């Protein structure tokens, strides 16, 4: 995916202000940044939910905003932030919805649909509660069902908006492990909005740091973040330590920088 001088927002208000980057196929890219920095707006524009105010989003060289919804949904899947659970739907039925873009005019369910749903439920560990209504599942189980739905869509690109929110440490790790496997083992291209900087740095191949609708720093691709970048982006003074196993930096917060949040 190539994002070129993309501008997006709401009404007259510009929220994403001329952002350019390339999403490397088969890798995991994380978007991080303070609340309101434009991460969700950027992701929604990449997924064609919002029209750009300028610039382009190209997928395999074609503009996503010029493509029919169904055709794009076979290439690109989006898991939005806190999606609404359709009433009465079981986990299996929810995951099966991921197959809609692949079904023909008569919407006939095929062996390929079965296989895709089965694989997605297996990989996400959601088979055990396939017959349970999604509304009756725990937050962690529900989140895995949504991810399974996005996986069953079998798109080459999956965009996820804060899939680890509300999950405790163990389940955050579980979701991030799953996303890393999707990229590493299945060759899917994963773009994920995260809030935890250290988690993003540990898991993603590339971390794009947004502030005020612009990319202020990039980690990965031979570049790394410095404590000064974190202070600039988040308004927090940090100490950078080197992770003993990965050799990557880990940022330990020391306090809010003077003037931040005013
Ligand atoms: N539907 C909308 N209509 C108008 N303004 C919006 C809408 N959605 C978001 N905004 C505004 O756009 C700005 C960026 O919001 P966005 O949700 O993209 O940021 P974010 O970085 O994802 O934030 P967070 O980390 O809090 O989820 C915010 O000021 C927000 O109030």
Q: pLDDT (tens digit, 9 = 90+) per residue, 8-18?
A: 999 999 999 99
Atom of ligand 1 nearest to the CA of 81: 27
Compute, in angstroms, the gap from residue 119 CA to the centroid of ligand 1: 34
Of the candidates 224, 216, 255, the one whose C-alpha atom is nearest the C-alpha of residue 239 is 255
23: confidence class by pLDDT, cuts 50, 70, 90:
very high
Which protein residues touch ligand 1 with a CB less than 6 Å away? 10, 15, 33, 35-41
Closest residue to atom 24 of ligand 1, CA basis:
35
Q: In this structure, how many other beta carbons lie within 10 angstroms of the beta carbon of residue 122?
A: 12
Q: How far is CA 84 from the centre of its chain?
A: 17
Residue 103 pLDDT more than 80?
no
Atom of ligand 1 nearest to the CA of 9: 12
Instruction: Say how far apart CA 19 and CA 36 lie, in whole Å.
Output: 15
Instruction: Say how far apart CA 142 and CA 123 lie, in whole Å.
Output: 14
Question: Using one digit for the tens of pLDDT, what is the confidence trace for 41-65?
Answer: 999 999 999 999 999 999 999 999 9
Of the candidates 55, 37, 34, 35, the one whose C-alpha atom is nearest the C-alpha of residue 46 is 55
Compute, in angstroms, the gap from residue 81 CA to the centroid of ligand 1: 12
What value does the mean pLDDT take over residues 162-179?
A: 89
Most confident of the following: 28-32, 138-142, 224-228: 28-32
Q: Mean pLDDT lowest for which of 145-149, 167-171, 173-177, 208-212?
A: 167-171
For the chain, list the domains and their CATH numbers.
1-75+156-262 (3.40.50.300), 83-154 (no CATH)
Contact 164, 199 (CB under 8 A): yes
Closest residue to atom 13 of ligand 1, CA basis:
36
Average pLDDT taken over every residue of the chain: 91
Instruction: Say how far apart CA 151 and CA 99 lie, in whole Å.
Output: 10
pTM: 0.92
Q: Which of 38, 44, 160, 197 to mutate to test the pocket of ligand 1 (most atoms within 8 A of CB)?
A: 38
DSSP bridge pairs for 17: 7
Say whether 262 sits in a helix, a strand or coil: coil
pLDDT at residue number 20: 97
């Amino acid at each position: 995916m190539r994002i070129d001088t993309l501008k997006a927002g709401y009404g007259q208000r510009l929220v994403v202000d001329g952002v350019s980057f390339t999403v490397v196929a088969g890798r995991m890219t994380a978007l991080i940044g303070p609340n309101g920095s434009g991460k969700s707006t950027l992701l929604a524009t990449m997924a064609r939910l919002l029209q750009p105010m300028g610039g382009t989003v190209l997928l395999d060289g074609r503009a996503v905003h010029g493509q029919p919804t169904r055709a794009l949904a076979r290439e690109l899947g989006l898991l939005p932030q806190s999606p609404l659970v359709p009433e009465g739907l079981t986990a299996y039925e929810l995951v099966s919805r991921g197959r809609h873009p692949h079904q023909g005019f008569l919407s006939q369910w095929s062996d390929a649909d079965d296989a895709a749903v089965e694989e997605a439920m297996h990989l996400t560990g959601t088979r055990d509660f396939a017959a349970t209504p999604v509304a009756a599942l725990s937050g962690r189980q529900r989140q895995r069902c949504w991810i399974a739905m996005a996986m069953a869509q079998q798109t080459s690109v999956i965009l996820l908006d804060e899939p680890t929110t509300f999950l405790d440490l163990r389940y955050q790790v579980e979701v991030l492990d799953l996303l890393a496997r999707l990229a590493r083992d299945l060759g899917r291209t994963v773009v994920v909005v995260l809030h935890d900087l250290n988690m993003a740095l540990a898991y993603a191949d590339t971390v794009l740091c947004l502030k005020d609708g612009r990319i202020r720093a990039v980690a990965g691709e031979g570049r790394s973040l410095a404590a000064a970048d974190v202070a600039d982006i988040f308004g927090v003074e940090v100490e950078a330590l080197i992770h003993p196993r990965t050799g990557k930096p880990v940022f330990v917060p020391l306090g809010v920088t003077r003037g931040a949040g005013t």
